[in-house]
Amino acid sequence: MIGSNVAPTPATGVNASRTTAAAADAARIEIVGLTKRFLTPKGESFTAIRDVTLTVEPGQFCAIVGPTGCGKSTTLAQVSGLDKPSGGSVQVGGHIVDGITAGVSYMFQADSLFPWKTVLQNVMTGPVLLGTPKKEAAALANDWLRRVGLTGFGDRYPHQLSGGMRKRVAMAAALINKPRILLMDEPFGALDVQTKAIMQTELLNLWEESRPSVLFITHDLDEAVALADRVVIMTSSPGTVKNIFDVDLPRPRGDVQEIRHQERFQAIQSRIWDSLRDEVTRAYKRSAEAAA
């Protein structure tokens, strides 16, 4: 009988494993035959991505790499629910994505902080929107600022921070709601090489704590190999999946700067580069011809 006097189920045995399995499934992303067409200003149909099929398993860190304009951001926009596919489907946790999905956080390429809010207010926005009382949300946000090394910066405004610090705030804001899925569109693209490596290491450390499924977009193959379990290479426009590579470097990976010197890293990187090089060359030739 179901009623208020039913004792809570202990988190052990069959029920616990069912709960764990359900939680894991909720973090799966399944993209099947995804196609997106846009109308050009001339009113013609332009196919940005074509028949993209890809699964991100629960807890997996998946990177998508491809030449500029191949449709990486377009793919992510369909997964996030910010845009609607022209064909095919995206499922998150077994449900077709239709609008913004609970439990999914998005970290954009450009700074996506509210410029009129302090650092603390930016980070606490997520919990407040979910109904957490302000005092509690502020305490949680302060704890996240500590985790990303920004203790004492809560009362600053975004323009008073360096680019790397702003990325830390964005990372705290993306992770504070404990997303089961994290979508990242070239989050560190605009940073200098050293800051980028520090941010990558910090991201991996934070990711290890709760292991959300990650779909991470980048131009940078080294970044993809250092961070991801799988690297997906997209073809030049219209983008589709060309190859998928498993990256079996052990975890936790530690310092991203050091991974790059490992022989195993270099072997994997060079194998994937063979696949990516043709697409980059093709995209470059096409844009050079268009400019001529």
Ligand X SMILES: Nc1ncnc2c1ncn2[C@@H]1O[C@H](COP(=O)(O)OP(=O)(O)OP(=O)(O)O)[C@@H](O)[C@H]1O
Q: Which residues bind ligand X (CB under 6 A)?
A: 38, 46, 48, 66, 68-74, 219, 237
C-beta of 214: minimal distance to ligand X in Å? 17
Judged by CB, which is closer to ligand X: 43, or 99?
Answer: 43
Interface with Mg ion by CB under 5 A: which range of 42-50, 68-76, 157-165, 191-199?
Answer: 68-76
Q: Which does 50 bind (CB under 5 to 8 A by kind): Mg ion, ligand X, none?
A: none
Nearer to ligand X, 48 or 140 (CB): 48
State the Cα–Cα distance between residues 47 and 44, nearest whole angstrom: 10
Task: Say if CB 119 and CB 169 are below 8 A apart.
Answer: yes
Identify the residue among 47, 73, 243, 257 touching Mg ion (CB under 5 A): 73
- Which residue number, 46 or 284, has a Cβ lying nearer to ligand X? 46
81 binds, among Mg ion, ligand X, none (CB under 5 to 8 A by kind): none
Min dist CB 292 to ligand X, Å, is 18
Chain CA centroid to CA 82, Å: 14
Angle between helices 163-175 and 134-147 (to 10 degrees): 130
Closest CA to 167 of 119, 130, 125: 119
What's the CA gap between 147 and 57, in Å, rounded?
A: 27
> Which partner from the list ligand X, Mg ion, none does 71 bind, CB cut-off 5 to 8 Å by kind?
ligand X
- φ/ψ (deg, to 5) at 20: -65, -40
| Torsion sign across C-alpha atoms 125, 130, 135, 141 | negative
Tokens 């990711």, residue? 207
Toward Mg ion, which CB reaches closer, 70 or 119? 70
Residues forming the site for Mg ion (CB under 5 A)? 73
